[in-house]
Structure 1
Amino acid sequence: MVELEKLKQELKKVNAEYAGIRDVPVEKRAEFGREINAKKQEILARIAIVEQEALDAEVESIDVTAFTAPNEQVPDVYPQSYGSKHPLMTEIDRVAEIYQLMGFDVVESRQLDDEYHMFDSLNFAKEHPARDGYDTFRTEEGLIPPAHTSTMQHRVLKMYRNKLTEGKNIAVVVPGRVYRNEDVDATHEHTFYQCEGVYVSKTCTMGDMLGILREFFEKYYEQKLNIRTQPGYFPFTEPSLEFMIEKPKALGGKKGDFLEMLGCGMIHPNVLKMAGIDPREYHGFAWGGGMDRLVMLKYGLRDVRNFESGNLNFLREF
């Protein structure tokens, strides 16, 4: 760089002038030294500016997204202008919005939890197979990446139980990421999303629960739907149900075609007790279902692995 070389030559000349200080009278050497030093500092400052400008220009010329061979053309999929919100995040926001319009608070789930909240507080027996490492991931420290958003149920009940003494109801939904030791295929993932619902009051019934769930699915799929239930089993609800909806017409559904969407039931008295709520005075119901499948049905998607794959062609469809 021509300008930088000129400045360096000027700096050499100034440094050479210091040698002449021996010929300066003693009483004038201090002033002479200050003048030479001022010249030197000015040149050094100019050199710093020129070098910084050169560095900035070099950084701007580097395409940090171009992980390609030297002569290979960079694909047009890298620019940030093509970015968009992940479809799952968009749909989770929509789900939360529907429940909020129905009067529910929204609490985010956790990424790591412990044995107590994952199993003990939910009435799981000590020998329950879900506690086995073949089903549930665990860290070396004994922490558990939640296998279901129900891990938040105990916290939610304790967090909001004061509402009951104020004559109000507990109404909360908990969306969050969950982790299962699954064999991955088109319909199964080891990492996915769920949404938990918890409702407690003095008078609530299973009929109220079914009404809330029906209202949610009709709002989400934007059509009237028939519903159906069948018996199920979960340690933290009694009785427990599997909730099904009539397959939406938009997905080719015909009358009589039903899809299982989530598990639900009346909160087990032991779960209420552990949260400090008297089951003789208050009743509750809870439900939990996968968000990924909810979205797959809405858009007619066939492979759940697309959500976590980072496949830009898939994401661009949204």
Structure 2
Amino acid sequence: MDDDSLDSFDDLFEPFGLEGKPDKEPATPRRQSPPRSTRAATTVEGAVACVSCGAPNDPDNRHCERCGARLARSQMPVAPQPMLRTTAGARALIVLASVVLGVAILALLVNMFSGGGGGTTETTNTTPTSLPTTPVGPLTPIAVNCNPPSSELSSYPCEALIDGDPATSWNAIDGGIGVEITFLFAPPVQITEMIIQNVEDECRFLRNHRMKGIEVSINDLTHTIVKELGDSRDLQRVDIRSIGTSSLTIRITSGYPGQTCDGKEPYFEMAAQDIYFFGRPLSGG
């Protein structure tokens, strides 16, 4: 076997360490890379990150220090709109204007409710139902009728109610309940009050029946006036608010019963002395 073959054979088994171990060579020290700059690792307060490489940059920079890309900047915050403030002079002017407006409104209301100006005079002249200027006075009916006619005593007729004579009186049989007394006026009148006078003599007053409940109907009013009279010889007043009356009817619905007086038995009739009316005539007089 020649030398070339032996060298090839040694090369074949060299990887398996079959050849004698060579002497150890001293280990070469490993080079250490220099430490990286800490500038990139240091995070600047308020730093802006680059959208291209992610490197932090000073917020005042317009371009990235690493890659040179343009840095995106956030929109500058908008300051809030200042509050509107009024000066002392403006506030005083507002107060003064409010006072003037209030005084004007108050004067307008006083003028409306006091009826001032020419409006009231015009309304009085053009309204047909306004009160006449004639003063209130006594009114005399032209006639009086009792219904039914058989209810009155011939010696004590209905006409006695309007003759103004205290010596005469009206009497109705059977206590007078249900009797209607109608008074006629011509020309029409405006009645403000009606007064009923019972018999003034004490014993005659007590022994006769007296009116208690009455219903008053007036031809120019749609409602009926209901009144309960007192059991007294005093004048019995009934308020009337008619406009233009030509007839008034009293219907007797109840009465006070007669009583004994000085040992004398009561009567079965109802009695009244006079009935008076007060108001204004609408025309004539």
Larger strand percent: 2
TM-score (norm 2): 0.28
Considering Cα pairs closer than 8 Å and 6+ residues apart, tell me whether 1 or 2 has the greater RCO. Answer: 2
TM-score (norm 1): 0.26
